[in-house]
Amino acid sequence: MAGITTSTPPILTGVALARRQMLTVLWLRWRIFVNAFRSKGAAGELIAKILSYPMLAMMVFGPSIGAGFGAWYTVTNHHPVFFAAILWGVFLFWQVIGITTSATGPSFDLTSLIRFPIRYRDYFLLRLSFGLLDPQNLVGFSCLTGVAVGVAIAAPALTPWAALTLLTYGATNLFFSRMLYAWLERFLAQRKTRELVTVLILFISLGIQVLSQMAGRFSSHHGQRPHFSPLVTSIGHNLLAINWFLPPGLAASAITRLNSGATPLAFASLFGLATWATAFTWALHRRLLAQYHGENLSEAPSASKPDTKKPVRAASLSTPLAGLLSPATSALVLKEFKYLLRSGPKLYALVLPAFMVLLFSGRASGLGYAGIHQNTALYIYPSACAYLQLMLVAMLYNSLGQDARGIQFYFMAPIHLRQVLFAKNLLTFFILLIELVFIYICTASLTQLPPLDITVAAVFASLFLFLIGCSIGNVRSIVSPKVIDPTQVRKQNISGLNSLISLAVTIIGGALCYGTFFGSRFLFHSNWPAALTFALLTGVAAFLWFLVYRRLDLIAEDHRETLSNELCKAG
């Protein structure tokens, strides 16, 4: 028939197919970014991102200037050890920023691409290319650029070699971070290995703090030259020797050796650095290849035959508060308690405040040895209580995130959503009380018994900040929820705007509490006026919480669609 063509579109292969797939993924990412502004709360999230840009700029330019100045000084004065220390600082800063910030990459799971006819090589390149503009990569490459500029100013002839070495070192850091996140997500995908990883991270992070405290204790006091034991000196020499075989030491050796005329050693160091980059790439390749071949780790228990000899009993939903609460609320509290026991990060966060007492006591004793006593030990307890408020932020400002798709059952069950939030607040309140007592015991054991006026003031100040956080957090948990995925390393527990609001509330509340503390001490030479002030503020905060609590169901009804859309993205 006239006007009808039977031609078919050409079949793309090779480079053309890879280019088309890359452009398709970029277009999808762009559409997700644009469509995100049509959802509720999009304006607030945009404002939060704009306000966070100055902070990100400080994170990028501040360390970069410092790294550049340090590189110029160490190269000028021929201090290879200090130059290696700068590159170690860049490496650690790179990894810490990567873990503590969320990814700015796609909001979809890139592993879903393996459902489509995509070659493994293209899948590998896509996984590497996405996220290059994440904060940790911007900070890391910016610091290395500062180091390159510092080396170029100190020794212009080293500029090409330093640029090549630092570029290789940057690629090594990039491959290491990608490899680390990929394997961490592999172990976090199952509950047993997730608990082991959490315990390991807990011991490593706390162990570093303990070692830093012990290192300070080995030194002498009153500003004299530190004297370390032979064991500490031997460990330091061994670590320094091992450093030259690790990426930061190899990169520093490649630059400083060429500057001193040892060209063969410089090339050997650069080759060793490239070997590390290749090893990290191979480890990442092994993990992505397993995903590409369809590896799917599930937490579902294996099927087992029921034991017919034992009678089946109904699960008990009773709690110690069953006589004071309704059956539904009692069951909700029990559910939240089981959530807590299965959440490694939450348990880790609850251990930190008591551990911070040890660090605060060490700092206070150090100030005392330095002659700056000023009753610093008296305020260890309120300082630890203030730190505790930071640990409760994720529990208050995204309290529905861990329920994920379970939010549908709340809407179908004969309960009010405010009962759910009340149960979550109640369990967090009990955690707060237990932590306050535990911190008090640790403070009294490690330093001295906190005075009664400071203790009462600190307790009421903690209750005041907690109730304010509950009032605002309950509303934000409904208005701007976010799924908590324990299998993902680099995902925030709360949205950007919630994070900004919680930070502002914590800073303002902390400044108000400390101002009241020191104002009471300065004007009345006692902390009892501060305790009375915090008691009155606690009453006001409790009344505010009750007013907000009565309106939670109405707020939830207006945001039912938002809750369902956001929390049902899990899995």
Write the CA distances from 249 to 64, 83, 125, 176, 506, integer angstroms. 19, 9, 29, 16, 40
On the question of pLDDT at 457 being above 80, the answer is yes
Mean pLDDT throughout 59-79? 85
Please classify residue 544 by burial: count the beta carbons closer than 10 Å to its beta carbon, then call 0-12 exposed, 13-18 middle and 19+ buried: middle
What is the chain's alpha carbon radius of gyration, rounded to the nearest angstrom?
28
Are the beta carbons of 350 and 391 closer than 8 angstroms? yes
426 is written with which tokens? 């109640």
The pLDDT of residue 551: 92
Q: What is the mean pLDDT of residues 481-496?
A: 66
The mean per-residue pLDDT over the stretch 521-548 comes to: 92
Q: Is the pLDDT of residue 559 over 80?
A: yes
Please measure the distance between the N-terminal and C-terminal CA atoms of the chain and give it in whole angstroms: 50
CA dist., res. 562 & res. 479, Å (int): 7
Q: pLDDT band for position 527 (50/70/90)?
A: confident
Q: Does 514 score more than 50 pLDDT?
A: yes
Task: Identify the band that residue 234 occupies on the pLDDT scale cut at 50, 70 and 90.
Answer: confident
Does residue 219 carry a pLDDT above 50? no
**What angle separates helix 263-292 from helix 159-188, to the nearest 10 degrees?**
30
pLDDT at 220: 43
pLDDT greater at residue 406 or residue 147? 147
Confidence of residue 61 (pLDDT cuts 50, 70, 90): confident
CB-CB contact of 474 with 425 (8 Å): yes
* Confidence (pLDDT) at 370: 41
Q: Which of 189, 185, 160, 16 has the alpha carbon at shortest distance from 103?
A: 185
Check: CB of residue 93 under 8 Å from CB of residue 140. yes
Tokens 């190269």 correspond to what residue?
A: 75
Residue type, 474: N
pLDDT at residue 40, rounded to an integer: 63
Query: How many Å apart are CA 329 and CA 318, to the nearest integer?
Result: 10
What CA–CA distance (Å, rounded) separates 335 from 399? 13
Q: What is the mean pLDDT of residues 321-348?
A: 76
Three-state DSSP class for residue 246: coil
Q: Is residue 492's pLDDT more than 60?
A: no
Cα–Cα distance for residue pair 145/166, rounded to 1 Å:
8
| CA 168 centroid distance within chain | 27
pLDDT on residue 168: 94
According to the model, what pLDDT value does residue 357 have? 65
Structure tokens at 202: 């807990």
Residues 472 and 255: their CA atoms lie apart, in Å, by 53
Residue 42: its pLDDT value, please?
A: 63
Which parts of 321-451 are beta strand (E)?
Answer: none
pLDDT at position 221 is 46
- Answer whether residue 390 shows pLDDT above 70: yes
Q: Say how many C-beta atoms besides its own lie within 10 A of residue 241's C-beta.
A: 10
In 3D, which of 151, 149, 145 has the Cα closest to residue 77?
151
| pLDDT tier, 483 (very low <50, low <70, confident <90, very high otherwise) | confident
Cβ–Cβ under 8 Å, residues 207 and 357:
no
Residue 61 vs residue 231, higher pLDDT = 61
- pLDDT computed for residue 150 by the predictor: 92
Where does 36-158 have alpha helices with state H? 42-76, 80-100, 120-129, 135-154
**Highest mean pLDDT of the ranges 91-100, 297-306, 403-412, 479-488:** 403-412
Q: Is a pLDDT exceeding 60 seen at residue 283?
A: yes
Give percent of the chain with pLDDT exceeding 70: 71
Task: Measure the CA angle with vertex 123, ends 117 and 124; round to 5°.
Answer: 155
Flag whether pLDDT at 393 surpasses 90: no
Confidence band for 320, pLDDT divided at 50, 70 and 90: low
Q: How many CB atoms lie within 10 A of CB 271?
A: 12
Confidence of residue 531 (pLDDT cuts 50, 70, 90): very high
**Which of 87-96, 346-355, 357-366, 373-382 is most confident?**
87-96
Average pLDDT, stretch 512-528?
A: 87
Q: 494-503 burial string, b = 16+ CB within 10 Å, else e?
A: bbbbbbbbbe
Mean pLDDT along residues 318-325: 64
DSSP assignment string, 492-516 = -SS-HHHHHHHHHHHHHHHHHHHHH
Contacts of 234 (CB under 8 A, 6+ apart): none
Nearest-angstrom CA–CA distance, 535 and 451:
17
Q: CA 251 to CA 262: how far, in whole Å? A: 14
State the pLDDT confidence band at 412, using cuts at 50, 70 and 90.
confident
pLDDT of residue 97: 74
What's the whole-model pTM score?
0.69
Q: Give 63: exposed, middle or buried? Use CB within 10 Å, 0-12, 13-18, 19+.
A: buried
Q: How confident is the model at residue 1 (pLDDT cuts 50, 70, 90)?
A: very low
Instruction: List the single range of 123-127, 165-169, 339-343, 422-426 with lowest mean pLDDT.
Output: 339-343
Task: Provide DSSP, 525-563.
Answer: SSSHHHHHHHHHHHHHHHHHHHHHHHTHHHHHHHTHHHH
Q: What value does the mean pLDDT take over residues 157-162? A: 90
- Name the burial class of residue 183, with classes exposed (0-12), middle (13-18) and buried (19+) by CB atoms within 10 angstroms of its CB: middle
∠ at Cα 532 (531, 536), nearest 5°? 115
Lowest mean pLDDT: which of 16-20, 369-373, 424-428, 440-444?
369-373
Under the banding of pLDDT at 50, 70 and 90, the label for residue 367 is very low
Q: Is 371 left (phi over 0), alpha (psi -120 to 50) or beta?
A: left
- Residue 169: per-residue pLDDT: 94
pLDDT band at 119 (very low <50, low <70, confident <90, very high): confident
pLDDT at residue 272, rounded to an integer = 93
Of 180 and 50, more confident: 180
Checking if the pLDDT of 461 tops 90, the result is yes
C-alpha dihedral over 171, 175, 176, 179, to 10 degrees? Answer: 180
Contact assessment for residue 105 and residue 93, using Cβ atoms and an 8 Å cutoff: no
105: confidence class by pLDDT, cuts 50, 70, 90: very low
pLDDT at 180: 85
Lowest mean pLDDT among 49-58, 277-286, 435-444, 549-558: 49-58
13 φψ region: left (φ > 0), alpha (ψ -120 to 50), beta (else) = beta
Give dist(CA 313, CA 319) in Å, integer: 17
